[in-house]
């Protein structure tokens, strides 16, 4: 293929679980563009550069460090061009797009090897990324997440947030420094308004837009590879993965990271964390006849006064943090007199956190507390043994 026909290479840059597999299939559907599975070009270019630098870069005709660097970059580009230009030619396309999420950690070398490249900076709401990371691989974690899990083995929500903050910070800094080569795409806008977003995207890439492309995404074949397997079982662009992040109990989010999430959310056009939980409405319409939690906890204390409590010897204070528009915080102290409702802002010995819909399902027996805990829909902190005692008091009939 004539190299002059190849336009600027394209890279999709994103955190894991942000919709990059779906976006690469969209781009691969365009008649001029091809996008293979994960090629991990970032680490490949790093290794090729090192090999060229310490081999051809050490030949007698190389006199300066600048010449050595230039030779290594040129050889790296030559190898990748030869590989992917032939791939594009074999696909009948004129340009290629690479989407490996690991590339976000190798932006320095990619920038050196492909100075004219265009970048699609794909973002997604932090809570939805965290929720998706945990739900997609309950028996293990993709290699890019392992280091974060090792840092936060006791709180996988914290591990996934750490990953999102790290990758989002790198990507936003790169976008700001290379504004002319980058276009921002929000996952939510992509799936809710695909025609509007894709028209702008392909215009940025210098490619013609045809609205019929959307209907062809799941009809034409795409090379499989690492990425979201759900794409291969889809027949349309789905919107059901938006807003699931508020299923994560808010108490699992480290307080010291709230400000960082909110800062990035504001820059990306997302609501702050508190607003996301306050606006949670997804399952509340199905909740147990709009259970009034103040009445519920008062009734619990009344049962205690009548000698009907399951745990009369509870000692300590448990705070129940229930998120959602009908949620709140309730603190119950167990002492020699029984159970007492305390001020919500008083310190507690343990915490039980869940969402309003899940709490209602637990109370009326539609959901098992064990299953809710295993699915990450309810969490406990502080004195775990005491939390279990209080949990048995409330949910003992639905364990």
The tens-digit pLDDT sequence of the chain (399 residues) is 444 455 689 999 999 999 999 999 999 999 999 999 999 999 999 999 999 999 999 999 999 999 999 999 999 999 999 999 999 999 999 999 999 999 999 999 999 999 999 999 999 999 999 999 988 766 678 889 999 999 999 889 999 999 999 999 999 999 999 999 999 999 999 999 999 999 999 999 999 999 899 989 988 889 987 777 667 667 788 887 888 898 888 888 999 999 999 999 999 999 999 998 887 644 444 444 467 888 888 877 766 554 444 455 678 999 999 887 778 898 999 887 778 888 888 888 999 988 888 888 888 777 777 777 767 788 888 888 888 888 877 776 444
Structural domains in the chain?
3-257 (3.40.50.300), 285-398 (3.30.1050.10)
Partners of 123 in the beta sheet?
186
DSSP state of 184: E
Of 142, 168, 115, the C-alpha closest to 40 is 142
Which residue's structure tokens are 């028209």? 199
> Please, is 24 exposed, middle or buried when counting C-beta atoms within 10 Å of its C-beta (0-12, 13-18, 19+)?
buried
The C-alpha atoms of residue 348 and residue 351 are separated, in whole angstroms, by: 7
Partners of 186 in the beta sheet?
123
Which residue's structure tokens are 């013609």? 208
Report the relative pairing of strands 338-342 and 328-335 from DSSP bridges: antiparallel
Return the SS3 of 21: helix
The C-alpha atoms of residue 244 and residue 72 are separated, in whole angstroms, by: 46
pTM of the entire structure? 0.76
- Count other Cβ atoms within 10 Å, centred on residue 278: 15
DSSP string, 106-158: -HHHHHHH-TT-EEEEEE--HHHHHHHHHHH-TT---HHHHHHHHH-TT-HHH
């Amino acid at each position: 293929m004539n190299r002059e026909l190849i336009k600027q290479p394209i890279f999709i840059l994103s955190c894991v679980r942000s919709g990059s597999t779906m976006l690469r299939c969209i781009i691969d559907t365009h008649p001029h563009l091809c996008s293979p599975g994960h090629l991990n070009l970032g680490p490949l270019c790093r290794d090729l550069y090192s090999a060229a630098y310490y081999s051809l870069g050490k030949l007698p005709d190389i006199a300066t460090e600048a010449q050595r660097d230039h030779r290594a970059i040129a050889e790296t580009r030559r190898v990748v061009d030869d590989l992917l230009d032939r791939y594009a030619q074999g696909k009948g396309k004129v340009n290629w797009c690479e989407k490996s999420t690991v590339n976000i950690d190798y932006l320095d070398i990619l920038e050196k090897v492909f100075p004219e490249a265009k970048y699609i900076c794909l973002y997604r709401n932090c809570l939805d990324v965290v929720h998706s990371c945990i739900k997609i691989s309950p028996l293990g974690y993709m290699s890019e997440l392992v280091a974060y899990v090792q840092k936060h083995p006791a709180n996988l929500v914290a591990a996934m947030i750490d990953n999102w903050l790290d990758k989002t910070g790198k990507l936003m800094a790169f976008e700001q420094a290379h504004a002319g080569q980058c276009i921002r795409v929000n996952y939510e806008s992509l799936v809710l308004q695909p025609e509007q977003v894709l028209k702008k995207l392909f215009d940025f890439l210098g490619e013609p837009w045809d609205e019929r492309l959307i209907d062809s995404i799941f009809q034409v074949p795409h090379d499989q590879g690492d990425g979201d397997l759900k794409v291969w079982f889809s027949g349309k662009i789905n919107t059901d993965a938006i807003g699931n992040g508020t299923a994560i109990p808010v108490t699992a989010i480290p307080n010291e990271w709230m400000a960082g999430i909110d800062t990035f959310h504001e820059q990306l056009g997302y609501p702050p964390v508190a607003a996301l939980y306050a606006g949670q409405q997804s399952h509340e319409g199905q909740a147990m006849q709009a259970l009034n939690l103040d009445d519920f906890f008062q009734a619990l204390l009344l049962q205690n006064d009548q000698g009907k409590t399951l745990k009369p010897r509870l000692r300590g204070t448990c705070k129940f943090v229930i998120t959602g528009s009908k949620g709140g915080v309730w603190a119950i102290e167990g002492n020699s007199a029984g159970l007492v409702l305390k001020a919500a802002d008083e310190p507690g010995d343990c915490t039980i956190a869940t969402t309003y819909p899940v709490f209602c399902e637990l109370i009326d027996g539609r959901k098992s507390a064990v299953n809710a805990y295993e699915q990450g829909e309810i969490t406990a902190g502080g004195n775990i043994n005491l939390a279990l005692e209080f949990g048995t008091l409330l949910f003992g009939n639905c364990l």
